Amino acid sequence: MIVVTGATGHLGKLVVEGLLEKLPADQVVAAVRSPEKADGLAARGVEVRRADYGDPDSLVSAFKGADKVLLVSGSEVGRRVEQHQAVLEAAKQAGVGHLVYTSAPKATTSSLVVAPEHKATEELIQASGLTATILRNNWYNENYADVIKQAVETGSFAGSAGDGRVASATRADYAAAAVAVLTGDGHEGKIYELTGDVAWSSADLAAEIGRATGREISYADLPADEHAKVLTEAGLPEPVVGLLVTLDANIKDGLLAETTGDLRALIGRPTTPIGVTVAEIAAA
């Protein structure tokens, strides 16, 4: 039996769908904070169990009888380490045979702004004694949906990433990799650096948006302080502004640029180019 945490979230939902293509519904458990949001899965024969990262007892119940658990990293920045620790303790208590964790690129060595909580989690997994596989997901194409929509509307977008490149892929690509690991053999103890096949720059993104819309799209590369000012004037809260500007600095430094081939190998096909995502969003 395979338990997927965050099963109604963007990534978890896709993993459950992928598992249902390969396994009978009674072998898949959707572990969610709000079971009522998973009524559609329950109607298809998937067992839905409540699993709140802040309620350890619910986690032990959710993992009961599980051979494998996919821990989709929590979304609450600043609370993820304690939440993931609770998941690991529950997994040990429930006798889970194999834990799979969605981490960040080169989490234990990178200065990427989001890496520290993933590094701490990977260290907790290592110390737990659980048999585990780490999926270090690069950026999602969908992370740029708002930027793409804005550029479609206004003809331009701004940032401070310079010529830095992002080796992104779609959520569906990363979900397919998780499904391959959860349903395959020989992945125990492995760390996979999952990236798109092609790394692209902001100028490349502008060109793809232009191709999709049939008009000129410009990218304005700004100093970090000016980028922060633009985001603040757009109404974004200070912590979000800080995160986005720091992330662009990380991209400028090349921290998301490496392509590895691990994702393509796991899913058995090329990854989805940013241009495909751009075209879909522009058409919508």
List the one residue out of 198, 185, 186 whose CA is nearest residue 276.
198
The CATH homologous superfamily to which domain 142-166+197-258+268-283 belongs is UDP-galactose 4-epimerase, domain 1 (3.90.25.10)
Q: Which residues of the chain have pLDDT under 70?
A: none
The whole-model pTM stands at: 0.95
Tokens at 245, concatenated: 């500007």
Q: Where are the domains of the chain?
A: 2-137, 142-166+197-258+268-283
Interatomic CA distance for residues 142 and 269, integer angstroms = 19
Instruction: Count CB-CB contacts under 10 A for residue 10.
Output: 13
3 state SS of 92: helix
Output the CA–CA distances (angstroms, integers) from residue 255 to 16, 76, 105, 215, 264, in the order listed: 30, 22, 8, 31, 20
Interatomic CA distance for residues 133 and 4, integer angstroms = 14
Contacts 24+ apart (CB under 8 A), 263-269: 263/169, 263/173, 263/174, 263/177, 263/192, 263/194, 263/195, 263/196, 263/197, 264/197, 266/176, 266/177, 266/180, 266/181, 266/192, 266/194, 267/173, 267/176, 267/177, 267/180, 268/180
Question: In the chain, which ranges are continuous DSSP H helix?
Answer: 10-20, 39-43, 56-62, 80-94, 115-128, 145-154, 171-183, 202-213, 224-233, 238-252, 262-267, 274-283
- Note the pLDDT of residue 245: 96
Q: Which residues pair with 201 in a beta bridge?
A: 165
- Note the pLDDT of residue 53: 86
Output the CA–CA distances (angstroms, integers) from residue 73 to 29, 152, 153, 208, 278, in the order listed: 17, 31, 33, 30, 26
- Note the pLDDT of residue 206: 97
CB of 146 closer than 8 Å to CB of 278: no
Interatomic CA distance for residues 202 and 164, integer angstroms = 8
Fold adopted by 2-137: Rossmann fold (3.40.50)
Tokens at 69, concatenated: 């658990």
Interatomic CA distance for residues 227 and 222, integer angstroms = 6
Q: Which residues pair with 79 in a beta bridge?
A: none
